[in-house]
Structure 1
């Protein structure tokens, strides 16, 4: 039984190698998101497309999903989680775009109420990251409270709709999320060493990198905030907090489909 340690404790050389291995594993877990954003960036450089760029990206997203499944990088269960993330994301987009929070200014055939179908793949990419990280790092949630965490995560999701008409409860919900995840941790393996991190801290760290990814996504034209329509500007830092809360939904969905010891044979650890 490997011992449980704080992340990258020990001598300096081992910590450095562990950090590099962790970073490489995270990069592998982000493969779908990296490929998707690369496709968005490349599509913006292609002249005279025979179909609308957003429609082309729908097909690209479907092909990516099939490729990851056929190559065994994602299981059928993972694809189901990713599909749910896609649907939840589209619902989120329909409300937010209708309220003018952001927009997809280019024309497309596969576009409903201002939202192209490819928009759901941006949330599917987050689902893919969580699923792949679960496999690659032998992720295990310890002292996790699935029901109470799911209820709070659902309330967080609903609040991102209702705050347009009702008082914004994100700060009370953030405090409640800290309460229901108190004592919960994510255990994972790097270079054969079992490590542990508070679950709430993992939400914050993932939220930060999602905020960085959002800056990159808007820069390559994935969508536009109102203040970016006449030239790109950095995404407001408040989105960092929003992603730190929203990631709880993806983690709850993924955790609900995992079984203890369900790591796939042949999945190489970082």
Structure 2
């Protein structure tokens, strides 16, 4: 008998216990639903949005806490708002593990994102690229500890979407090549303050390296595919939109926002796109890219 991997089905060993339960219920609800025509499209669209929402749960909860703190946290509270955000972020992370919304394997990726993100935060705040309120004690220098969880939210999304959509890739570059360009991108975030900014050169390198790559993913019955660079751009856009909400919520501010909130510059989309490359490479260290296979259509058990 061939394995689920050989048949092209998502391996439910990669799902958490709660996700396996939800998956079984979803199969019972969806089997028999239209598979073609406009109603079939609506079914696939609904499943896609539900999976995306589930993949974003960490980031969505953290963003909701940031907005709630902006609206309702008293300025004269004994507990500083930044410390409250850090405590809330820790509780969200504990809850994700306790309720089995994340696996232990994902935790390693999230820790990597914490380390990479915190290193960048310490440097960038020192250079004045952005700033945080100086309140609170749960911080390293000028960087409150909740900042690392914002990078972890990106990592959480990426590892969750990898297994929820059973991502596969055709013509994916060699991991050592992607790791090399991701390292160069990360270093450029630091070195461009002292020497020439190479982001456009690096952007061209990313385009050359990933332009042949196509992402294959599973929704319900549909097996769409998309150019990977287009997917990167789409995710970067969503992160930029979330960044606008977070800066409005006062999580951090760019220099042009200190006199009063203004939208984040669209130029930041390039930075987020390049940061996406670092994120993707970190995930591939734990979830190596897999080649596409033909999925077996869902059927009644």
Same fold (TM > 0.5): yes
CA distance in 1, matches of 2:91, 2:134: 22
Which residue is equivalent to 1:212? 241
Q: Does 1:85 align with 2:113?
A: yes
Aligned: 1:227 with 2:256: yes
Give 5+ residue unaligned stretches, structure 1: 3-9, 262-268
Larger Rg: 2
Alignment of 1:185-264 (within 5 A): 185-258=214-287
CA distance in 1 between counterparts of 2:90 and 2:140 reads: 18
1:1-270 residue pairs with structure 2 within 5 A?
11-44=37-70, 45-47=72-74, 48-145=76-173, 146-258=175-287
Q: Distance in 2 between matches of 1:12 and 1:176?
A: 40
1:129-165, CA deviations, whole angstroms, 9 ceiling, x for partnerless residues? 1011112111123322211111111111111111111
**Aligned pairs, number:** 256
Query: Deviation per CA, 1:14-60, whole angstroms, max 9, x where unpaired?
Result: 33432332222212111111100111122231224332111122221
Give, in whole Å, the separation in 2 of the partners of 1:65 and 1:132. Answer: 14
Per-residue CA deviation, residues 158-198 of structure 1 (Å, 9 max, x unaligned), is 11111111111111111111111132222211112222122
Alignment partner of 1:191: what SS? coil
Which stretch has the larger CA shift, 195-204 or 40-49?
Answer: 40-49
Give the whole-Å Cα distance in 2 for the aligned partners of 1:198 and 1:19.
19
Q: Distance in 1 between matches of 2:181 and 2:38?
A: 39
Distance 1:245 1:134 in 2: 19
Runs of 4+ in structure 1 displaced over 6 angstroms? none
5+ residue gaps, structure 2? 1-6, 9-35, 291-297
**Alpha-carbon contact 1:159-1:170 (below 8 Å) kept:** yes
Q: Which moved more, 1:122-131 or 1:192-201?
A: 192-201
Does the Cα contact within 8 Å between 2:44 and 2:221 map onto a contact in 1? no
Q: What's the offset of the Cα at 1:68?
A: 1.1
Deviation at 1:260, TM superposition (A): 7.3
User: What do you get for the CA RMSD once the two structures are aligned?
Assistant: 2.0
The whole-number CA distance in structure 2 between the counterparts of 1:67 and 1:61 is 10
TM-score, scaled relative to structure 2:
0.80
